[in-house]
Chain A
Amino acid sequence: MSIAFPTPDAGILARRDAILAGLAPLVAPDALIVTEDERRAFETDALTAYRRLPLAVVLPSSTEEVAAVMRFCSENGVKVVARGAGTSLAGGAIPQEDAIVIGVSKLARVLETDFANRTMRVQAGITNLAISQAVAHEGFFYAPDPSSQLACTIAGNVAMNSGGAHCLKYGVTTNNLLGLTVVLVDGTVVEIGGDMLDAPGYDFLGLMTGSEGQLGIVTEATVRILRAAEGARPALMGFESVEECGACVAAIIGAGIIPVALEYMDKPAIEICEAFAHAGYPLDVEAMLIIEVEGSEEEIEDAFARIVAIAEPFNPRALKVAQTEAEAAAIWKGRKSAFGATGRVADYICMDGTIPTGQLPVALRRIDEIVKGYGLGVANVFHAGDGNLHPLVMFDTNKPGEMEKAEAAGEDILRLCVELGGCLTGEHGVGIEKRDLMTTQYNREDLAQQLRVRGVFDPLWLLNPAKVFPLEGRELDETPTNGREAA
């Protein structure tokens, strides 16, 4: 329990009744949640070790209601934490006692589907999977597919710039977004972008994406939808060493093949997932890849013939190209249940750093050393094509001090990612979890520029203020620095 929250504003807490009375006329009666019991449901997200009860929760049904609530909050100095489905692993949606939560769960409709132009307009609270399901009958889908897609919302995806297993080919949220309706902190509603490929002026769409609820409240989004490939099939390949596996990944990409997914699992992850899913994973290898390619039968055969030939020098073991739907499903079932399966054998925290893929063997060796140094275990599953690691640091909550050790190990792993040329977070976001590590990746000037941009949108720090930026160092020196002197 090492991450600090700002001290709640006593003035706001004292005015709670007046604030609730001010909010009540702005939304439907059942959209304002005030009782402690009901507020409990909103006190945390998927970073469950941390929780804070919000002042109140509002669940608006329209952009206009969101705007009215925001206007009220900014006029009254009330902080706001936006919330989608609360699946953030970084604590991005955890409230604070002196803030209200604006949840977008009632804004969950598809507004417009345009197959000819391959776009779709949705309200922000719709789930990621529901978007794909709404267009599946025409063979279309929305590409970024976080493993949490059944629950997480497009609002959360935009706020975190979420990725998925298939982003090696299709990109992440920011690459698949065309337009947003955003309510600014003072209640002004702006339309950013539209239904075309590029937006006029500065790239505010790119800036909003990944801004973690700190620049405005997203109420609608226009996304690109894509026609799905004719077919897709995974293969699995085991390796006797991490080095051979890493070299094989490099060789595949070096040969000009970009599989739609390229997932890595290490020995502990293979064992945990196999015990849970009986996917037929090889238990006598050090590392394993799941490689998925897309296209017609003929194209898939051709691609696997190439991949198998490329892999040959790296001594792949237990090579298996799925021949049937059932085999394909089994191969993916193991990988997709990695988090759940690990949760059955231990408590864990899931890290999310990215490394340059060439550093893979070094990174895995050092992660192992770090975690062992704390007397804990680790299972590694990750997106090998882009170096986005998900080490699952395992511990036992019931043993005093173990969770703190796991957190410390996690922080060391993220520092390692930065040291190797990567970054703190590839897709889960900074939230509160990595907030205090930001200074390992960014220096004073780097952070100051981000804070200045943030200040354009929310000068008074009302929007999700406990997150992303270290609590220290938010005050900026406004005297222009002399570039020659600044370190």
Chain B
Amino acid sequence: MRILLMGSPNVGKSVIFTRLTGVNVITSNYPGTTVEYTKGTMRYRGERVEVVDAPGTYSLDPTSRAEEVAVAMVEEADLIINVADATNLERSLNLTLDLIRIGKPLIIALNLWDEAKHKGVKIDVKQLEELLGVPCIPTCAITGEGIKELVSRLDEACPSEFTYQDKWETIGQIVSQVQQVTHRHHTVWERLADASVRPFTGIPIALIVLYLSFRLIRFIGEGLIGLIFDPLFEHLWAPLMLKLSALLGGSGLLHGILIGELIDGNIEFMESMGLLTTGLYVPFAAVLPYIFAFYLILSLLEDSGYLPRLAVLVDTFMHRLGLHGLGIIPMLLGLGCNVPGSLSTRILETRRERFIAATIMAIAVPCMAQIAMIAGLVGKYGAKGLGTVFGTLFIIWVGLGILLNRILKGESPEIFVDIPPYRPPYMKTVAKKIWMRVKWFLKEAVPFVLLGVFIVNVLYTLGIIQIMGKLAAPIVTGLFGLPQETVGALLIGFLRKDVAVGMLVPLGLTLRQLIIASVILAIYFPCVATFTTLAKELGLKDMLKSVAIMITLTIIVGTLLNLVLPR
């Protein structure tokens, strides 16, 4: 048996799903958080039944990929829990009436009941139940109120016998029968809500929010590295590794793989290239602190409800890139990791938009792991280093968007987004979300980092990097002005960008070479995880187009940078 959660976007389906199944999924305060279905199980009538969390949809006529995913799930459901928004019954009933016509057993959760109360919205639940002929249960998913009753009344779920002719007339009648709204005063939050979408106040607010986010991420990331992770590795781990090194005899195959090379008799965590040295230092000490810092700030932005407002403010600008304002959301998620960023392009309506968004993200939006490593590499040069790298990437992002918008047939649709109220982020939810994303990084990324470090050793030992270096010399050295050994980093970049950036450290590059190499590594190709996700999302043909753009662009940008940057 399969139970499906259906409802408009941002009504709390995913929170209810977690309550029912215990399976953690990402929840945020903006429409379009869930873009893929997730399955879990719960006990029902003494047996395990499947529960499915789907993306939100306003009706059964999908307008985006995410909505298509939701609508496609209806067919296979045996029972539907329609999660309705108690603060906006009228809008929710649109989908409810659609679902009633499907004729499957139905039960309605009137979620956000707490907010409805605050807003002065009163719903006569008994009467609504009688009218529709299916159980209706008020719930507050975030505190868990009503969830028990929802579960205990699943038995009563039944196909509704309610019939109607004119949908909107019917909805109007139902609402006027069961709902009463009493007026109340505007809260401070609501005034702030208005200020953040008015252009005169909104744009300064957006700049302040983005600047603060950036400063906080750097402050927290660097703080964690400098105060905790670096000392841990230097004072605790390094001596241990030196002992192990002595035990292994200071050289040999196993020593090379586990410890790597000693530099002046010492372990250099960024250079030694052993599994236990660089292989652990890169993910845990160099990258993890930044991942944590980024997701802390992102989660706060997501849960407060600021992102859809930012989308409104940047809409006009994003139209120049062939996207509308919501296109900023995959970009922000992509800054954490390009994989969720690629998936989130599903909130966009057309194939054209998804192609543009995925392509400019894969090329010009580096993930946090890569950003952290670049910060470690050129951060000491200040704006001359970091500013040039990220400034170049930003110009590519904008330029490529404008170009694709010009040459691709068709036009991009206008923004169409529901703006949720501001909500204070719940610390428990935020903590859980950070933990899920950090865990994902540990599970999905760390093995690849280790594999990357291992492969570096194999490639060097077999002399493959040296051969590839000679083959690629005309481009890498001739056009980009980089030493042949950079090819090693480019090879490993297919696997993990952070390890690849790390491989630049021992090469003793000049600042201009570091800048060129960092930019090239960001744009030339996505890492394998992003590539496979993109290939699935775009289809093979579009993926190949995207790859052709990447390669052409790499040659042009690398050559230009080599010409323009001062020697």
Whether chains A and B associate is no
